Amino acid sequence: MKKSLIILAVAFVLIGGLILITSRVATPWQPDTRLTFIGFTNMPARTNALFAVSNLPTEGETSWIVREISRKEGTNWKTWDHRSSISPVLDWYRPTPANFNPLAVIPVETITAPSRIVTELKLHPKGVARFFEDVRVRWAMFRGKNYETAWKGPSFFITNETVAVGAPPLQR
């Protein structure tokens, strides 16, 4: 009986140590990912800003989360009204042929004022660390918390301002 308790205690200590080690390791991650504003698209339900994505991360699976969409009013930035019927999420458009990089499509409230868009790019761990990340996410959701609070990995923020300018003059 005493021997099995010692084995069980050692197993708990090893598992706890593994969880602490894998959740605290900071990965030096600085992707060279860029979002370049290329124009607006008019959809029936909303207006979107279209971005060319360059240097997609190749280190592993990533999540893209729109953290802020705001528009300039005078000298201040007014944040997107989160109660509006259109949620500010990043969508992807994949042109053909398949060798082209995808385009990021993000809704904006207006094209008559500059917009500021902040996107968070998260790198998910691989292997055993991914398993423990999934456990933390499920535990946070079970407790009724936002699953992003369980995130322990590296994040990279991309800020981009869009400005609608008039068409260039015609060259004759």
Number of domains the chain contains: 1
Q: Is residue 127, in this structure, part of any structural domain at all?
A: yes
Q: Is residue 16, in this structure, part of any structural domain at all?
A: no
Residue whose entry in the numeric block shows the structure tokens 């969880």: 19
Residue-wise pLDDT tens digits, 105-156:
888 887 888 888 888 888 887 788 788 888 888 888 888 877 666 666 777 8
Q: Is residue 134, in this structure, part of any structural domain at all?
A: yes
Structure tokens at 132: 């423990």
Pair 115, 73: CB distance under 8 Å: no
CATH number of the structural domain spanning residue 66: 2.60.40
What is the pLDDT confidence band of residue 84, given thresholds at 50, 70 and 90? Answer: low
**Whether pLDDT at 32 is above 60:** yes
The three-state secondary structure class of 120 is strand
Alpha helix stretches (DSSP H) within 60-166: 128-142
Does the bond joining 28 to the residue before it have cis omega, within 30 degrees of 0? no
Q: Is residue 26, in this structure, part of any structural domain at all?
A: no
Q: Is residue 1, in this structure, part of any structural domain at all?
A: no
What does the buried/exposed string (b/e) look like for 23-37 if buried means 16 or more CB atoms within 10 Å of the residue's CB? eeeeeebebebebeb
Q: Is residue 142, in this structure, part of any structural domain at all?
A: yes
What is the pLDDT confidence band of residue 83, given thresholds at 50, 70 and 90? Answer: low
Question: 167 phi and psi, to 5 degrees?
Answer: -65, 145
pLDDT of res. 30: 65
* pTM beyond cutoff 0.85: no
Distance of alpha carbon 38 from alpha carbon 51, whole angstroms: 6
Q: Is residue 167, in this structure, part of any structural domain at all?
A: no
Q: Is residue 148, in this structure, part of any structural domain at all?
A: yes
Pick the closest to residue 65 from 121, 115, 148 (CA basis).
121
Q: Which domain holds residue 149?
A: 32-162
What is the pLDDT confidence band of residue 171, given thresholds at 50, 70 and 90? Answer: very low
What is the pLDDT confidence band of residue 20, given thresholds at 50, 70 and 90? Answer: low
**Whether pLDDT at 165 is above 60:** no
Segment (H or E) for 50: strand 47-54
